[in-house]
Amino acid sequence: MTEKQSLLLLQPLKVGNLTLKNRIMFPPLTTGYEERDGSIGEQSLRFYERLAKGGTSYVVIGDVTPVNTASPTPKLSDDSQIPSFQKLADALHAYDCKLALQIFHPEYDVPGVGRLIMGSMAAAKEAEAARTAGDLELFEEKMKKSNEIRGQAYAKLRHDMQYFATEASVEQLEAIKASIAACAVRAQKAGADAIEIHGDRLLGSLCSASINHREDHYGGVLENRVRYALEVVAAIREAAPDLMIEYKLPIITKNEDGTLRGKGGLLADEAKQFAVMLEKAGVHMLQVAQANHTGNMGDTIPPMGTVPYHWVLPIAAEIKQLVSIPIVTVGRVVTVEAGEQILQEGKADLIGYGRSLLTDPDIAVKAERGEPIRTCLNCNKGCVDAIQSRNYISCVLNAENGNESTVSIRPGEGPKKVAVVGAGIAGLEAARVAAKRGYEVTVYDKARQMGGQILIAAVPPRKSEILRAIEYYEQILPMLGVSIRLGHSPDAAVLNQADAVIAAVGAVNMTLPVPGADSKKVVSAWDILAKEQTVSGRCAVIGGGLVGTETAEYLLEQGCSVSMIEMLDQVAAGESSTILPLIEKDFQEHNVTQYTQTKVTGITPQGVTAVHTQTNETIEIPCDYVVMAVGSKKAPFSTEGITVPVTFAGDCSGEKTAGIAEAVRSGYHAANAI
């Protein structure tokens, strides 16, 4: 047996009546891939099938509702939806991958909210009919009614999120329990192998001492608060006895400042007691996870640099000592090596690689072969932000993610030499794809280090983990036979020796064309982050986008005082919703003055002159240095003398510069088209 094959991560695990072929799990993660009726369509099917093909042993479909909600989640509330889940089960089983459905019920009165939403839609339909008939008075009346009912629906939703666990009648809870049991029956008919009970949301609210204020047998002491969850376990066991049962156990943890993180679920001491109860109730496996119910996805899926790696593992390890059933750990376990160490130390039995499997669905097969694995950045840009904005998820580093049925690397078209100019993220991805197609690839860059803008993007606080994107290419490209020539700018004669050229020379920082912009006190944000220039004292950052915001945080870390000037009405408008609260807190603690809706008119020896775009008020902002962060433009690349086809990728491919997701996809598709 080889060293890679001997990894505990790749060894089987017995869970209830199932045997998982390895210890790699895809935990429940909202994808947005499902059809509008909640069934499993082509996009969803191919995504999960790709995980199975990559060797994942256990896939959990997140947020499967047993009732017909307005939420954009998978639904198994009707027998007509069974065939789509059966097709999914068959696809995963073809790769010896087990399928679990995470059944959850929202923490609100679903029928009540649904009736209001349907009433609003009905009034809107009547309004449209009135407008078509030319009755504008009736149209306005019905639209007003529609909006009023919709407002009532959202008001009820907000109310229920806080109080439904306390106010729900026993009859309502019995009906919900029956719907969950019926969903489990459908799951069993569909060929699913397991049910994961979502211990957050309604169940977590009932368990929580801070949310549940009932005075009946479902409220008060721990035994009462967990009673309903245990009844749900019993109902599923009775309704679908062939299914393995996993329970997602949400833990209310503590932040560094002592405040509680999460509301639904249990504090650690009570969670330990409940874990023992769950095992006695017949649960076969526990997933120990962070509790939510705060409205901020960053609490449960934290971005890079905000919490330690494996941050929920300590409580998972404690619970493992109290029960004999397998324990799943999730939460910033980003590498095979980290997962293996957790298993070897006996702190958990199964590793949930959520975001990591979006980045690279082949973790299992690559671990077995000893191949480099593309590692998640925990940036939350393509996944968590998409969930928050009701879009479908897609990892910024994986051009195929979410489009597995339509996007893949094409076979090469015979022997070809490809020259890639630029070793930023777009050029490196282009080189990888071209090499995977069987082409002979050479990468050139005038810089002496690979990475391009990634190198400066990693400098601000909490951002160093972004360097993992480059580390992957440093490992994989030599293995693919790619020649990398740094500190070299090829001329046309060199490039003409190739059959095709991909230009990925990136972008250059822009300077605002105002009087005084050529002053020595004006510096580039890029130069500061590249540590080619240093500043001190009072700094005015012009531009409140991502670069300006991150540069401001870096300057605060260096002891500078900072003012920010932005023409829009908000600073950091494009930042991840999980990171924005951290930036706002940092700015507040350091007394950062933010001048929004403000246009710079000039730079003087004393500072910056500007005007408020709404009031035309003149503003004087004193400072010692002015930092330009007003955007970038594509770097020039001359095709003069080049006689072979040239394709542009990344920032230099269009008038609008790209983020990391666009750069990766641009490089991927440029190389895939040759």
Q: Round to whole Å and give the CA distance between 631 and 511.
A: 8
39-53: buried (b, 16+ CB within 10 Å) or exposed (e) per residue? Answer: bbbebbbbbbbbbbb
Residue 278 · residue 272 · CB < 8 Å? no
Whole-number Å distance between alpha carbons of 98 and 22: 11
Q: Is 201 an active-site residue?
A: yes
Contacts of 164 (CB under 8 A, 6+ apart): 107, 108, 109, 202, 205
SS3 320: helix
DSSP for 386-413, written as a single string: HHHTT-----TT-TTTT-TTT--PPPP-
Distance in angstroms (rounded) separating the CA atoms of residues 540 and 599: 13
Residues near 81 by Cβ (< 8 Å), separated by ≥ 6?
37, 38, 39, 75, 186
Q: Please answer whether residues 53 and 94 qualify as being in contact, where contact means their C-beta atoms are separated by less than 8 angstroms.
A: no
Six token digits for residue 639:
């095709």
Are 512 and 540 in contact by the 8 Å Cβ rule? The answer is no
Nearest to residue 25, comparing CAs of 246, 353, 346, 338? 353
Among residues 186, 201, 332, 665, the one annotated as catalytic is 201
Residue 443 contacts residue 484 (beta carbons within 8 Å): yes
d(CA 347, CA 331): 14
Parallel, antiparallel or unpaired: strands 538-542 and 561-565:
parallel
C-alpha distances in angstroms, 34 versus 195, 275, 441? 19, 32, 39
Residue 98: strand, helix, or coil: strand
Scanning the structure block, which residue is given the tokens 């991927």?
668
> If residue 423 lies in a helix (H) or strand (E), which one and from where to where?
none
Distance of alpha carbon 671 from alpha carbon 436, whole angstroms: 10
- Residue 431 φ/ψ, nearest 5 degrees: -65, -40
Distance CA 66, CA 201 (A): 14
Q: What is the set of active-site residues?
A: 201
